[in-house]
Structure 1
Amino acid sequence: MSRQEINRSGEMEVFVRAVELGGFTAAATAFRMTPSAVSKLVTRLEKRLGARLINRSTRRLQLTPEGCVFFERSVAILADITEAERHASAGEQVAGHIRINTSGSFGNHALAPLVPAFMALHPNVSLEIFHTDRIVDLMEERADVAIRAGPLKSSSLTARKLGATRKVIVASPNYLQRHGAPRSAAELEKHCRIGFAYSRAIEGWPLRIDGEVVTIPAARSLQVGDGEAMRHLALDGAGLARLSAFTVKSDIASGRLLTVLEDLNPGDVEEFHAIYIGQGGPLPARVRALLEFLRENVRL
């Protein structure tokens, strides 16, 4: 029998229990085995080790010097295994460190307001939140969860939908006062349209014109690397921006931004997903708690 086929930790458990309980019969009862099965297991163990571990001449088990060494080391090894399993799964206790990767827009407007409640609910959890709009490798970035917008590509990752948001074109009152509000798709050519500096699933701005959805090409004059930077440029009067409605909700309510061409808005929505490594296998309790919390509390 190869070493890989031998359940060495299982043999250690039976051996240690037999010594602690003082006999094969008691150990057999504890493991729901027969006394002869326990005796054969110990004999097989001794044969493999090439050393007698127990003297069986007395009514009570008596350890040999080799048996004492093996018993002490087995107790330590089994304790280490238990500790390793406890740290790996944290049992059902929600504790440990969670590394989250998300966009600046979602992080600032959807995630940040929820952090205090999550931390209060799980005081033994620590969070590390990174903002980037670029797609990251979860393994390389050591991220437990990534939150991303748009259609999902097929991969070995697992995703949970958190919600969806419509898109709106906005501009500051200052910009519109200086340049006028566009009243048609054609008039967009006269305006600065702030675009993204990276490729996206949908390039350009889709508008409903004469019953059909037409995509206006993305602008090249002003580009940024993330949605939050685009929002700030729009607030500062740099141009028009097409953004997720939940990120500019308060700006529109306060009048800092105004919607533009809403009559041409096709009503398309962008979905947000929490993405993590795993194909239905067990998740650490801390990650499972975060995913459930986001699913129940994220409002886009």
Structure 2
Amino acid sequence: MSDRLQELGIFVRAAETGSFSRAARELGTTQPSVSRTIAGLERRLGVKLLLRTTRRITLTDAGSVLLERARHILPEIDEAEDAARGTDSLRGLLKVAMPVAFGIREVIPRLQAFLADHPQLRIDFVMADGAEDLVAEGVDVALRLGQLADSGFGSRKLASVPRYLVASPGYLELRGTPASLADLDGRDCILGPGASGRKGWVFRDGKVERPITGDERFNVGSAEGVIALAKAGLGMAVASLWMCRAELAAGHLVSILSDYPLAPAEVHAVFPAGRQPSRKVRAFTAHLADRLRGD
């Protein structure tokens, strides 16, 4: 049985990555070994599972059916083995994708107690501000800030915090502190990913939503870049409390136009494997939600 489970595990990673060589690197084996395993699985089942080309492998209809079932079977077996051991301690590898700044500033500092409770658990962080192919990366859970795009993935809202329009004291001394939304005309605006507002900002003026673009001086691909530009006195930016907590506390940035609130920033856990996340994923997201909401 263990050989058949190993076959399934290799097949899943080869199918998700679209590459025998990449699957081999992730699994710590060789490309010929992965190829032989898949060929043996196909012979045993009597069906073609993967179509090979010079650039990529793709799933056949039979391969798609097997992949869908295997994604559910393998985590359930892990959980069954944990239950048989009679222990609450998690083990194995948990692969987590998250934005760089949010991960460094808010997630990693909250993990010490969780990891102390689960000393046999290893975590592989995929940290990027762009949108990765979560399935191809083999991610167990992804943390996403802002509105979620429609997808077939399962998700859970973990927490939300206020967003602020911020600027450095030096910038405000040079250009003046805005007193109304109209005062934003001609100001240097720093736009960025996620909650930083790549397409502009939407303030609430009473019961009316007011979209503001200002003078789009900078457009940055990372949240840390947004904060760095604002701290340097180069413009105003919108940032969630998660992104600018330290700078506000130190006085490097100040909040302005607080009478015109912005929609809060939300963080969601996204489950690429479907709507039934594994026990490791459930424990990790529950811990993180508890800590984020506790703040």
TM-score (norm 2): 0.65
User: Is the CA contact (8 Å cut-off) linking 1:204 and 1:215 kept in structure 2?
Assistant: yes
Equivalence map 1:271-282=2 (5 Å)? 271-281=266-276
Give unpaired runs (5+ residues) of structure 2: 5-73, 84-88
Note if 1:287 corresponds to 2:281: yes
Q: Return the offset for 1:216.
A: 0.5
Give unpaired runs (5+ residues) of structure 1: 1-8, 10-82
Q: CA 1:257/1:94 → structure 2, altered by over 3 Å: closer, same or farther?
A: same
Q: Return the offset for 1:123.
A: 0.8
User: Is the CA contact (8 Å cut-off) linking 1:90 and 1:285 kept in structure 2?
Assistant: no
Q: Return the offset for 1:143.
A: 1.2
Note if 1:188 corresponds to 2:179: no
Q: Return the offset for 1:284.
A: 3.5
Q: Return the offset for 1:217.
A: 2.1
Q: Return the offset for 1:170.
A: 0.5
Which residue is 1:133 aligned to? 129
Cα distance in 2 for residues equivalent to 1:235 and 1:107? 20
Equivalence map 1:82-121=2 (5 Å)? 90-92=81-83, 93-121=89-117
Cα distance in 2 for residues equivalent to 1:179 and 1:111? 35
Equivalence map 1:169-184=2 (5 Å)? 169-184=165-180
Q: Deviations over 1:194-229 (max 9, x none)?
A: 012689988311123465221012653211112222
Q: Give the letter aligned to residue 277 of structure 1.
A: P
Q: CA 1:173/1:108 → structure 2, altered by over 3 Å: closer, same or farther?
A: same
Cα distance in 2 for residues equivalent to 1:287 and 1:106? 18
Matched residue pairs, number?
Answer: 217
Q: CA 1:286/1:187 → structure 2, altered by over 3 Å: closer, same or farther?
A: same
Which residue is 1:164 aligned to? 160
Cα distance in 1 for residues equivalent to 2:196 and 2:256? 22
Identify the match of residue 153 of structure 1 among 143, 149, 157: 149
Cα distance in 2 for residues equivalent to 1:263 and 1:104? 30
Identify the match of residue 122 of structure 1 among 112, 118, 125: 118
User: Is the CA contact (8 Å cut-off) linking 1:90 and 1:284 kept in structure 2?
Assistant: no
Q: Return the offset for 1:168.
A: 0.4
Which residue is 1:58 aligned to? none
Cα distance in 2 for residues equivalent to 1:293 and 1:198? 23
TM-score (norm 1): 0.64
Q: Give the letter aligned to residue 294 of structure 1.
A: L
Which residue is 1:269 aligned to? 264
Q: Return the offset for 1:84.
A: 11
Cα distance in 2 for residues equivalent to 1:287 and 1:218? 41
Q: CA 1:261/1:115 → structure 2, altered by over 3 Å: closer, same or farther?
A: same
Q: CA 1:171/1:208 → structure 2, altered by over 3 Å: closer, same or farther?
A: same
User: Is the CA contact (8 Å cut-off) linking 2:191 and 2:198 kept in structure 1?
Assistant: no
User: Is the CA contact (8 Å cut-off) linking 2:169 and 2:254 kept in structure 1?
Assistant: yes
SS at match of 1:190: coil
SS at match of 1:140: coil
Identify the match of residue 208 of structure 2 among 209, 212, 237: 212
Identify the match of residue 296 of structure 1 among 285, 290, 294: 290
Identity %: 29
Query: Over aligned residues, Cα RMSD in angstroms?
Result: 2.9
SS at match of 1:137: coil
Cα distance in 1 for residues equivalent to 2:115 and 2:218? 39
Equivalence map 1:16-95=2 (5 Å)? 90-92=81-83, 93-95=89-91
Bigger-Rg structure (1/2): 1
Cα distance in 1 for residues equivalent to 2:194 and 2:156? 25
User: Is the CA contact (8 Å cut-off) linking 2:96 and 2:124 kept in structure 1?
Assistant: yes
